[in-house]
Amino acid sequence: MLTLEVMTAVEEWQGLRLPFVGRQEELRAGIRAVLSAPSAVCVTGPPGVGKTRLVREILADRQVRSRTVLRGVCQPPPGEVFPYGAVFEALRQAGPPTRTPSPVTGALAPYLPELAAHLSAALPPLPDPAAQRHRLFRAVRDLLDALSPAVLVIEDLQWADDGTRALLRYLVAQEPVRLSTVVTQWSRPDLPGARVISLSGLDSAAVTELALAVDPAATSRVLSALPEYTGGRPHLVEHATAYSLRTGEQSLARIPLPRAMRLDTAAWLDALSPTARAVVVASAVVGDAAPCAVLARVAATTSGEAAAAVAEAVAAGLLSESGTDRYRVEPAAVRRCVRDGLAGPDARRAHTRALSALRDDPVASPARLAEHARLAGRFADWVTYAELADGDGAATALGAVLDEPALPPDLRERVATRYARLVAAHPGHGDAARLDQLVRDPVLSTAAHGEARLALGLVLVRRREGVEAGRTELALAVGELEDRPDRAARAMAVLADPALGARSLAEHREWADRGVRTLAGDRPALLASITASRVCAGNGPVPESVRRPPEGVRAPEDRLDLARAHLTVAHGYSWTGQAARARAHLRTARRLSDDSLGAGLGLRLDLHTGQWAGLAERAEAHLSADPDALPNSAEAALVLAVLASATGDRQAAEHWFARTGLDVPEDGICPVVLAASAGVIRMLLDRDEVAAADVEADRAMELFRDKGIWTWSGEVVPAVALAWLRAGRHADARALAEELTAVATGPGAPAVVAAAHAAMGAVAAAEEADERALWHFERARHHAARTGATYAATAHGENAVRIRLKLGDAEAVSALIALVGAYETLGATRDANRCRLLLRDHGSPRTPGAGAATAPARCPRASRTSPRSWFSTGRTRRSPTSSSCPAAPSNSTSPGCCGNSA
């Protein structure tokens, strides 16, 4: 009953006025054609692709609306087709003709009694059927001429009878001067001389736009799945999004198909020959693109008959060619609709034939074979292929086996262990709910519980708000895996990562030491993954196995372990400002992991080095594809926050800072949280909310002190020092800056050295020691530039120029003009405007224009309602071009100190 109510509500949704997206070129072409009477327009495309909506938009044009519109619809089978029915339906809507109809229109009186008063006198029937039909055609043409200027619209011409098709061909050939004819049909109609507008599915951007019009809060999971599932057909997009909005369902495969689509698909299939229909059903059962020979075996027909049937189905638009001699029903929703039309016994037989045919196909995956075996009722084959599966479909195949309630205990133990190990290697494939059930399953052994708990912990720590829960599961897994030291050590490797959560550095070190003792020299790649955490914390050398070329590592699990070690080292270098070394290790990590690791770090390094062109789009695309996967999602959110702050979009900056995990640091990536906190502090100070900035600074320092990792100080310490100075806590700010200066020694931490100079410069400026402040800011700029931190170096340079202006340096104005250009080149429009205001205040003889930017960063707008914000509301906000105090590092969160990876 609930489903019926929901489906009714969703069908009612179709009546709402939604934006017309992705068809502007076709709309302009249609309007031009209709206004160029006499003309004929054929709008073609598969069901649900938007033909009717395009026609409505054409008719809604201001110039087209002034014409008489006559609309008829051809009706699908079953039932006897009424000759010329759609045309007569259209003519019945006509009012009095604008001119006196010709005598031949009297032939229409028996068919159109509603218009009898406006027609000529009725004519007697003719003895010759051909002559009778020709007179009828002439009568229709003359009546349309009398009603013109007019637009005749006939929809769904694929259902028309032969008489209607002949009549339309006659009208197009003998069209009245002021008449435009518009028809819609699934495939190209036989109307010589017609202007054909062929519609295909909307692209991904248009699908997203349409879905967000239905549900502005649609989840990234739904938005990312819609293009492939719907094939860009607007009706399916609207239906699926509306159903998801009303029910909360996130899996498109579980959303009921719209009734109109089921009827259209059934009629579409019925129009095919029996063999072609069987081949289309076989393709839907197979699921993946399959060769003609496989489709022939599944359809239980010969190869010759199947080849002809495939050609017929392709011409009808029900099959698409995917590669050489491989065919598939597209999109996924239509494939599902065709497959759902099979009755139970027929479906089982079809899947049995598919299993037999695909065993010989080298492209068929074990996961797909497992699914066919399951649906065919072949239990032994199902389990065998599920255990052989790998890649993306392996977790799904094994999970389906685990959901079988009659699974024998020994088999359940084996499959559960296989599933848990697969998820442990690829946490993105795991289902936390299923793993939690396995952890509690009384049938499984302690070791199997440990394997499941290890996988569960690894799944949780890569999810937003799941880090602390994941750490708990991993710590418990260590005890349950006592007899499997290499598996226990895998849990310890994650627990040793200091970037995860808010636990102290001492606890992470204890786990690292314990992991080293547990492995006792075995599994060098895993050992490297554990010891690399010391590099991230800034207190250990790069492991020997990481320094060696990785070409000798062959086992997939070892390659992933080594990839994680390289990624951890890359993050460690990124915090100390050594971008080139970080990129080198990141490239190795991505090569070893087949590009599955380190996307967030890549975004952050591009931000750090000033490669901002297209960066916002890439970060948003990454978040859309996997919005909750840590650490990449937190790093991408931080990148978007920095870009939004640099362009002056405070609302977007607040939204993205919130997505970094700032509100729950124990469930976040600690360096990301610290960098985000620094950005928040600077935004609060920029709007003169000093008290709120002071509170945030204390909160950030509490987290920083608990961790005690000074290599992560590059962004947060200068921001905290600045907040304390503005709050009047000069002694605290000086003590903190001096403490950072004491630890910022040696060539291996240029970002920390730059931060120490920035903090000391702010303290000196607050104490009116301008010469000393200038020296520190210049040194900060030098060290930031040496690391390639373009944005940070420019910000430190701005602080130095402010001091130079105060000291009366004659060259300071020229330096400030150069800063405007540097900011604009990056795309930091807010910072450039602030410097322009400063130029105006100092009487610059020339003010740079706003058009100097090259490849500016797009302002990354927040597309959802912002989460809880730490920013005060209802207070006076300063202009984006307002100037900070001369000693303040006025840049928002700088690119050099962003994010880390688990």
333, β-bridge pairs: none
Determine contact, residues 752/740, Cβ cutoff 8 Å. yes
Do 212 and 185 share a domain, yes or no?
no
The three state secondary structure string of 633-650 is: HHHHHHHHHHHHHHCCCH
Do 242 and 262 share a domain, yes or no?
no
pLDDT band, residue 79 (cuts 50/70/90): low
Q: Give the strand pairing for 195-198 and 39-44.
A: parallel
Angle at 635 between CA 470 and CA 655, to 5 degrees: 100
Q: Using the predicted structure, report yes or no on whether residue 341 has a pLDDT greater than 90.
A: no
Q: What CATH number is given to the structural domain containing 319?
A: 1.10.10
How does pLDDT run across 133-165, given as a tens digit for each residue?
Answer: 999 999 999 999 998 899 999 999 888 888 999
Do 748 and 653 share a domain, yes or no?
yes
Cβ neighbours, 10 Å, residue 332: 18
Query: If DSSP codes are grouped into helix, strand and coil, which group holds residue 75?
Result: coil
C-alpha to C-alpha distance for 431 and 635, rounded to whole angstroms: 24
**Does some domain include residue 225?**
yes
At 872 the pLDDT is: 38
C-alpha to C-alpha distance for 587 and 566, rounded to whole angstroms: 9
Do 252 and 263 share a domain, yes or no?
no
At 56 the pLDDT is: 92
Q: What CATH number is given to the structural domain containing 796?
A: 1.25.40.10
Q: Using the predicted structure, report yes or no on whether residue 865 has a pLDDT greater than 50.
A: no
Residue 258 tokens read as 């719209």
Average pLDDT on 276-289 reads 93
Cβ neighbours, 10 Å, residue 584: 15
Q: Domain containing 206: what range?
A: 2-14+202-256
Do 182 and 303 share a domain, yes or no?
no
Query: Nearest Cα to 246, choosing from 434, 556, 12?
Result: 12
At 426 the pLDDT is: 85
Residue 272 tokens read as 């095919």
Determine contact, residues 438/406, Cβ cutoff 8 Å. no
C-alpha to C-alpha distance for 638 and 788, rounded to whole angstroms: 19
Do 248 and 261 share a domain, yes or no?
no
C-alpha to C-alpha distance for 542 and 572, rounded to whole angstroms: 10
pLDDT band, residue 748 (cuts 50/70/90): low
Q: Using the predicted structure, report yes or no on whether residue 541 has a pLDDT greater than 50.
A: yes
Do 225 and 359 share a domain, yes or no?
no
Do 102 and 236 share a domain, yes or no?
no
Q: Using the predicted structure, report yes or no on whether residue 81 has a pLDDT greater than 80.
A: no
C-alpha to C-alpha distance for 426 and 436, rounded to whole angstroms: 17
Do 227 and 315 share a domain, yes or no?
no
The three state secondary structure string of 117-139 is: HHCCCCCCCCCCHHHHHHHHHHH
C-alpha to C-alpha distance for 370 and 704, rounded to whole angstroms: 50
73, β-bridge pairs: 155
Do 650 and 604 share a domain, yes or no?
yes
Q: For residue 219, what are the CA distances in angstroms to 226, 256, 628? A: 11, 19, 11
Determine contact, residues 72/86, Cβ cutoff 8 Å. yes
Do 233 and 277 share a domain, yes or no?
no
Determine contact, residues 527/568, Cβ cutoff 8 Å. no
The interaxial angle of helices 446-461 and 485-495, nearest 10 deg, is 20
Average pLDDT on 59-67 reads 90
How does pLDDT run across 351-385, given as a tens digit for each residue?
Answer: 999 999 998 888 888 999 999 999 999 999 999 99
**Does some domain include residue 522?**
no
DSSP string, 235-257: HHHHHHHHHHHHH----GGGSPP
At 892 the pLDDT is: 34
150, β-bridge pairs: 68, 179
Listed residues 796, 821, 841: the one ending a domain: 841
Q: What CATH number is given to the structural domain containing 92?
A: 3.40.50
Query: Nearest Cα to 338, choosing from 45, 46, 53, 52?
Result: 46
At 886 the pLDDT is: 34
pTM comes to: 0.75
Average pLDDT on 207-222 reads 88
The single residue listed with the structure tokens 């630890």 is 743
**Does some domain include residue 408?**
no
- CB pairs under 8 A, 24+ apart, for 619-628? 619/643, 619/860, 620/860, 623/220, 623/659, 624/220, 624/223, 624/224, 625/220, 625/224, 626/220, 626/428, 627/219, 627/220, 627/221, 628/463, 628/464
**Does some domain include residue 562?**
no
Mean pLDDT of the chain: 86
Query: If DSSP codes are grouped into helix, strand and coil, which group holds residue 728?
Result: coil
**Does some domain include residue 834?**
yes
Q: Give the strand pairing for 179-185 and 39-44.
A: parallel
Structural domain tally of the chain?
Answer: 4
Listed residues 825, 841, 857: the one ending a domain: 841
pLDDT band, residue 8 (cuts 50/70/90): very low
Do 34 and 125 share a domain, yes or no?
yes
44, β-bridge pairs: 185, 198
Residue 107 tokens read as 């032939």
Listed residues 841, 869, 891: the one ending a domain: 841
How does pLDDT run across 383-405, given as a tens digit for each residue?
Answer: 999 999 887 788 889 999 999 98
**Does some domain include residue 431?**
no
C-alpha to C-alpha distance for 826 and 812, rounded to whole angstroms: 21
**Does some domain include residue 39?**
yes
Determine contact, residues 313/265, Cβ cutoff 8 Å. no
How many CA atoms lie within 13 Å of 113's alpha carbon, on the beta-carbon side?
1
Q: Using the predicted structure, report yes or no on whether residue 807 has a pLDDT greater than 80.
A: yes
**Does some domain include residue 269?**
yes
Sheet of strand 39-44: strand arrangement: 68-73, 150-155, 179-185, 39-44, 195-198
